[in-house]
Structure 1
């Protein structure tokens, strides 16, 4: 049995095609999970709604606590890191992360940025040693063989590499950079475009995205191996 972590970051609470003014990214992520359940019904599904219940942003107290060795932390420091610890634990448990992430003003939504800031944790998801030769940083999730699927939506069109708006896409490149820094480099992306136009091009984009998801689920489910990830202790 593998574990899938399903994340949604849209501020819209519903799904397009089902709810008025519903989210396209929620529609895509739900479609992926539904197809995954059909292919691998025994797998465990974890869900977190970052759009409706965003993590708390990083504060000065959070930073102080995170960069204090666990054995030296005061009780308030453990409280400051409790939400981050829960998010990191979920990430460590997951074999596959499926994230619905719409483009907001060329970047990720605030809730997803807060999530990123909470899971990039020294000693838990990346290592740091000033005395280490070469780069002082290293990823800690590399050997866990995790995979990430980013399912997005965009108001305009042409954000893929080599297209007219590729230079303004700070969603997938940002996510790939952050998760790669942690050691998750097997990343797949599918996105809907033309949302602001709302015409037949949007409908074609939605149809194509769902077809691409079906193909991706088939490929990933066939190759999924259960790694029995162990939740790493806090040792930063």
Structure 2
């Protein structure tokens, strides 16, 4: 049985293209694979606080040495990491903001990229601990960031997400990009994204 963690980030809520595409994928997934279970994490409706000094101290302190203050500071992070590790597949839907990712998503990533939990430092360098998982990135962009386009060189969204999730061990990543949603490309890009997602809902 497949367990999917669905992470939404867009503050546009029901007007969001990334949310709509991810939701359509999951509906098709359940239709073709009814045994699939889904956990939904909505970072726009329930944002994760920014990290602070106490949290950083707790991050690098072994759990056996936690003070009550450190245990409280790291509790939400532990909950989010446990939820993340409980899934074997992920669908992350996000808009592009200022060539990158929304702040709520960056904060979430800071909470789940944890030494001894999702990565390890070894004599041979860093090692991702979240292995044998798959991810789909659903990314919505207002302008045209297709390969070879004028804005392709300033697309910091996809390279960052592939790098950070690859760092913790997730390297099997499908990307579904809806580009130019504020341009004449919109209808065709959305149609292409939906077609690809419908296929993935069956085969992924």
TM-score w.r.t. the length of structure 2 is 0.96
**Residue 138 of structure 2 is aligned to residue 151 of structure 1:** yes
* Deviation digits for residues 52-90 of structure 1 (CA, Å, limit 9, x no counterpart): 211111111111001011100011111111111111111
Q: Figure out how many residues of one structure are paired with residues of the other and give that number.
A: 204
**Residue 46 of structure 2 is aligned to residue 53 of structure 1:** yes
Q: CA deviation at 1:162?
A: 3.5
Q: Which structure's residues are more often strand, by fraction?
A: 2
1:190 maps to which residue? 176
Check conservation: 2:44, 2:104, Cα contact below 8 A.
Answer: yes
Q: CA deviation at 1:195?
A: 2.0
> In 2, Cα distance between the equivalents of 1:141 and 1:99?
16
Check conservation: 2:88, 2:133, Cα contact below 8 A.
Answer: yes
Give secondary structure in 1 for the equivalent of 2:13.
Answer: coil
Runs of 5+ consecutive residues of structure 1 not aligned to the other structure: 15-21, 221-236
1:177 maps to which residue? 163
> In 1, Cα distance between the equivalents of 2:117 and 2:17?
33
RMSD of aligned residue pairs (Cα, Å) = 1.2
2:151 maps to which residue? 165
Q: CA deviation at 1:127?
A: 0.8
2:199 maps to which residue? 215
Q: How does 1:131-142 map to 2 (within 5 A)?
A: 132=123, 134-135=124-125, 137-142=126-131
Runs of 5+ consecutive residues of structure 2 not aligned to the other structure: none
